[in-house]
Amino acid sequence: MKLAGFVPLSLCDYPGRVAAVVFTQGCNFRCPWCHNGHLLPLAADPAQAVSEAHVLSVLAERRKRLGGVVVSGGEPTLQPALPRFLRSLKALGLDVKLDTNGSHPQVLRQLLADRLLDYVAMDVKAPWERYAALTGQSVCDVAAVQASLALIAASGVPHAFRTTRVDPLLSEREYGDIRTQIPLGSTHTWQAFRPAYSHDPALRTVCCPQ
């Protein structure tokens, strides 16, 4: 696993759980508002790389005090070693929450089939017709994202869909359009936009209402 961040204790990343958070390196999207720019390249900065062995060692020591582990990114489903890593977490008796952009439904389908996920959080970035523009892709496989949305909603696994409210880029009408994309019965939450570290420098000076 290519890891570029590890938080041994978090009270806000796994709903209702005390958890650790692992950040994977690399993302296939380039969302302008992303505040984890150092996680975007597929090749990790050696100065920020985190040893998988170290992470598993710390988790083994703390497993009785943790309710789970969040695997975030970057985009974890880009990692070929993800299933193996999740099996290592499950072997420690830890529940797993996956954060994903939904771009690889075939990976999600297998992880769910193998019962490696206990919670899934998927970002729904924009109205479907604006997905390419707002994920920084000249061509975006929206059908893949839609397939992941449907797969997660029907999985029976606790889940939530999330959208960052980026008022400089999205209108109230578009926020309404996003809500209509969320399957009935699924939780949807709005996330605050944090402009200071945006991937797009033009957004870093935007003031957001408190």
Q: Taking the chain (210 residues) in consecutive chunks of 10 residues, what is each chunk's mean pLDDT?
A: 95 96 96 90 83 96 95 96 98 97 98 98 97 89 97 98 95 97 97 88 72
The pLDDT, as a whole number, for residue 162 is 97
The pLDDT, as a whole number, for residue 53 is 96
Do 149 and 102 contact (CB within 8 A), yes or no? yes
Give the pairing type, strands 3-10 and 96-100: unpaired
Say how far apart CA 208 and CA 201 lie, in whole Å.
Answer: 15
Which of 3.20.20.70, 3.30.450.30, 2.40.10.10, 3.40.50.300 is the CATH number of 3-203?
3.20.20.70
Say how far apart CA 135 and CA 16 lie, in whole Å.
Answer: 30
Give the chain's radius of gyration (CA, Å): 17
The pLDDT, as a whole number, for residue 207 is 61
